[in-house]
Amino acid sequence: MFDFLFEILAAIAEPILEGLLELFAGAILDFLSRLFSGAFETLEKAPQFIAAVVYILLGALAGGCSVLAFPHHLIHPSRIPGVSLLVSPMFAGAALSLVGSFLRSRDRTPTRIETFRYGYAFAFGMALIRLLFAR
């Protein structure tokens, strides 16, 4: 019975912890994009497809850095491999979208990563690298 409960909790905790890690990395990227706004200005004005690809690549880079920092899975992988690849980017994209909504309510301009689409793209790139290379 204990093993069954542990499996259920691990299946729930894995995407949440991965999503929090992706959200944290997205927040760092958002902070850097605001700090170095000149360098990210071309990304803000790029066509949507190119910007999405760049955010996936930035997410993959962040995923590679996170694998170096945390080489093992945060939670023992669930019996359904790849569940965090689907769930955690949605969680991170929704959270970054909420940040964008909050900024719009304060009459501030959100960056592209503060939308669901680009936050999801960033988190998907990061989750894909973690799925492929974390032990």
Task: Read off the pLDDT of residues 107-134 as tens digits, 9 standing for 90 and up.
Answer: 988 888 889 999 999 999 998 998 888 8
What confidence score (pLDDT) does residue 104 get?
Answer: 93
Residue pLDDT, tens place only, 22-57: 888 888 888 887 777 776 777 778 899 999 999 999
Q: Where are the domains of the chain?
A: 2-133
Chain mean position to CA 104: 21
d(CA 74, CA 25): 15
**What are the DSSP calls for 108-132, one per residue?**
-PPPGGGSHHHHHHHHHHHHHHHHH
pLDDT at 53: 94
Alpha helices in the chain (DSSP H): 2-35, 37-45, 48-69, 83-105, 116-133
Paired tokens of 41: 């200005």
